[in-house]
Structures are given as structure tokens and as C-alpha cells.
Amino acid sequence: MSLLELRNVSKIYGELKALDRVSLHVDQGEWVAIMGPSGSGKSTMMNIIGCMDKPTSGEVLLDGVDISKESSKRLTDIRRDKIGLIFQQFHMVSYLTAVENVMVSQYYHSMPDEAEALEALGRVGLRERARHLPSQLSGGEQQRVCVARALINHPELILADEPTGNLDEANENIVLDLFAQLHREGTTLIVVTHDPEVADAAQRTIVLEHGKVAREVINENFGK
């Protein structure tokens, strides 16, 4: 069953076609990597799927709803309810502790629950670092807090933009293991990357070039 479907999606900035009639679909529970060189349209696609931007034309169906036609307020609601976002930079609120950064997502979603937030931090191996400020955490730890924050509201879709781009190998493996665990639990994952190793961890890789889908690769070794 398809969770996400893009139908002839284009995004045009002046003369530049960032996305050019892209069509693709992602099934519920699927783990998809999106690869491509710089300027291929990865970030644009991520912004559109993540309800942060709207396409110039085409349809984006998320859980059956065409989000390309939705208002900004509705897009915020959809993002809050259905999507967990992870970025390459560890975007944390500097004056909040690790657990409070996780609770921020609950705060805007439903109601902050510290016990649940601590549990999410435990899941990413940071239970003991819960009371630390971002400045007291390493890059890898900050990214794991972001993962905990992204999954705290049990989103249907985790959207990660270069999640391991700033991590060392050990932390990269920790994050990929977390993704694998989320995938086993049925969460849909879309990971934008240009690291082939990260792409290899996914079930399927979609390669973008010049704003178009150049090819799709099924990972035969997935799960082995």
C-alpha cells in the first residue's frame, strides 16, 4: 500500500527546473534512499515531501491526501502528525536539554511526557545524557537526540536529509541501526544521501539527476 506518491511533480525557480515532472511512490513501511549529485533536486524533493514547500505543478499524495494543494497551516498539521524530520546539521534548540528537545515535538503534537521522552532517548542510547545541553553533547549524540525527537510522536514517515553526513563511522552505524530498527517496526523511511553505504542500507534507491528520476535500484542484499 502506497504511503507517498509523487505524480509529475515539478518545482521551478525562475529559469531553473529543480524538479522536472518527477513521479515515484513509496510504500508503507518501505525504506527508500534518494541519491544524486549536488543540484539534482534532492533537497527540493525533501522539502516538498516534508511539507516545507509546495511544487509548482503535479500532485503529492501523502497517505492519500494531495498535500500540494494544502494551506500552509494544514501542511504544518500534516508535518506535525505524520512526519519525523532529521537533518544533516543537528538542529537542536540550544537552551533546551536533550530530553526537552525531544519533548518539544510532543509539546506541539499533543502533550509533553517526560517519561516517554526519556524512553525515546534510551532507545538511541542517550538516557544518561538526557539533562545535557546540546553544547555538552558530541555531534553523534546530538544527531541521535534528533532521531529520538523525530520518532517520539510515532510518525508514519521518517524523512532524513543526509543524516550521517556529519558523523563518524561509529555514530553512522548507530544511526543506521536505529533506522533498521524503525523499519522493522513498520515505519516508512526516506533517506536523502549521497553516501552509497547509507543508500545500500535501504531497500530501494532512487537516483535523481538534473531534477529527474534517472534510475531506481533495488537492494538485493537488503536484510541479509
* Positions that interact with another protein (CB under 8 A): 43, 47, 50, 52-53, 72-73, 76-77, 79-80, 85, 87, 89, 91-96, 100, 103-109, 111-114, 149, 153
Separation of first and last alpha carbons in the chain? 24
With contact defined as beta carbons under 8 Å apart, do 41 and 19 qualify? yes
Closest CB 181 distance from another protein, rounded Å: 22
Closest CB 205 distance from another protein, rounded Å: 23
Nearer to another protein, 107 or 215 (CB): 107
Closest CB 182 distance from another protein, rounded Å: 18
Q: Taking phi first (over 0 means left), then psi (-120 to 50 degrees means alpha), and beta for anything else, what does residue 16 get? A: beta
Nearer to another protein, 103 or 176 (CB): 103
Beta strand residue intervals within the chain, DSSP E:
2-13, 16-27, 31-35, 57-62, 65-66, 83-86, 157-161, 188-192, 204-209, 212-218
DSSP structural state of residue 128: G
What is the grid cell recorded at 5? 506518491
Nearer to another protein, 49 or 201 (CB): 49
Q: Taking phi first (over 0 means left), then psi (-120 to 50 degrees means alpha), and beta for anything else, what does residue 83 get? A: beta
Closest CB 149 distance from another protein, rounded Å: 7
Closest CB 104 distance from another protein, rounded Å: 5
Nearer to another protein, 104 or 217 (CB): 104
Closest CB 93 distance from another protein, rounded Å: 5
Nearer to another protein, 106 or 171 (CB): 106
Nearer to another protein, 46 or 201 (CB): 46
Q: How far is CA 32 from CA 74, 154, 180, 183, 192, in A?
A: 26, 18, 12, 10, 9
DSSP structural state of residue 64: T
